[in-house]
């Protein structure tokens, strides 16, 4: 990480620490996670130069900036990131970028409403995108920041944000209707790590992760045995792997449950810390959320 920071500082010096626009005159915007990239794209559209650092299947908890990322960050006018220590390996880089406008979406939220954690450095669960209302607030925040940076495009950013917020509200209604088809006693979500607590709080699911909030923590034998007992006791039908987390831990959990005479299936792979492939429905925030809920409900019925 120290080497990365040194490269970053050197790159700043070469570029003169200026917020250089590309030849098309648009501001350079850099985002970290694919969820944030999708959000900013919906607001900024063709009026910004947008580059995302993390693609499909990338775990932001463990992500380290490459030299190519350093160049992108050094040439950025605005950097949008999640904050709340989600991008653990990049936080120190952002703190060194005093001349850059770094925007953490988590900083805009009322901390008293966030889910706390005694086991994570920030004391807050960083997976805020699984609360649609938080994503609506983040949409408004991004539109505000972009409007301040490019005042003549404010009407466009405002309109784009209003259109996207309407889509997010419709998404929330649609998800609620789908979840209502699942009996309340079946609403137990077991996944690889604690990424879905905001989802659980919003849609009345009991959520249990094999690993903690950060995937930097490893699940041990005792964790597997404890969770397997919980699955059997609550007659959980399905457990889920995650696209950005190795599936071996969930496969070990399934084996532990089945060895005790209780059959549990792997209900599918959920998108947790990253969207699906670009160009697919799951490569968008709305498509990802719809896919996740349909997968969960179909497996637990």
Q: Which domains does the chain have, with CATH numbers?
A: 2-174 (3.40.50.1980), 182-300 (3.40.50.1980)
Question: How far is Cα 56 from Cα 29, in angstroms, rounded to an integer?
Answer: 19
What phi, psi does 265 have (nearest 5°)?
Answer: -100, 160
Question: Rg of the chain over CA atoms, in angstroms?
Answer: 20
Q: What is the pTM of this model?
A: 0.89
Q: pLDDT tens, position by position, for the chain (301 residues)?
A: 455 445 454 444 344 344 445 547 799 999 999 999 999 999 999 999 999 999 998 989 889 888 899 899 999 999 999 999 899 888 878 877 766 799 999 999 999 999 987 655 558 999 999 999 999 999 999 999 999 999 999 999 999 999 999 999 999 999 999 999 999 999 999 998 889 999 999 999 999 988 754 444 555 678 889 999 999 999 999 999 998 788 998 999 999 999 999 999 999 999 999 999 999 999 999 999 999 999 999 999 9
């Amino acid at each position: 990480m120290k080497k990365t920071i040194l490269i970053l500082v050197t790159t700043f010096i070469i570029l003169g620490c200026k917020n250089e626009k590309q030849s098309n005159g648009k501001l350079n915007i850099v985002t970290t996670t694919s969820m944030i990239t999708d959000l900013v794209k919906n607001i900024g559209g063709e009026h910004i130069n947008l580059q995302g650092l993390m693609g499909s299947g990338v775990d932001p908890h463990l992500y380290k900036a490459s030299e190519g990322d350093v160049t992108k960050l050094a040439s950025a006018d605005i950097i949008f990131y999640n904050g709340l220590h989600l991008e653990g390996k990049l936080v120190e880089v952002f703190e060194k970028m005093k001349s850059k406008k770094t925007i953490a979406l988590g900083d805009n939220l009322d901390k008293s409403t966030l889910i706390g954690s005694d086991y994570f450095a920030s004391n807050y669960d960083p997976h805020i995108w699984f609360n649609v209302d938080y994503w609506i607030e983040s949409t408004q925040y991004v539109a505000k920041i972009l409007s301040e940076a490019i005042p003549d495009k404010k009407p466009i950013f405002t309109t784009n944000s209003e259109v996207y917020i309407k889509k997010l509200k419709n998404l929330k209604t649609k998800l609620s209707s789908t979840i209502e088809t699942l009996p309340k006693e079946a609403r137990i979500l077991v996944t690889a790590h604690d990424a879905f607590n905001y989802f659980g709080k919003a849609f009345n699911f009991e959520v249990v992760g094999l690993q903690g909030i950060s995937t930097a923590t490893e699940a041990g034998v005792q964790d597997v045995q404890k969770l397997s007992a919980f699955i059997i006791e609550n007659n959980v039908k399905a457990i889920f792997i995650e696209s950005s987390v190795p599936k071996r831990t969930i496969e070990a959990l399934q084996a532990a449950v089945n060895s005790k005479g209780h059959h549990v299936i792997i209900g599918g792979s959920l998108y947790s810390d990253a969207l699906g492939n670009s160009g697919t429905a799951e490569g968008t925030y709305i498509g990802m959320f719809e896919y996740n809920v349909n997968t969960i409900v179909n497996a637990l019925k």
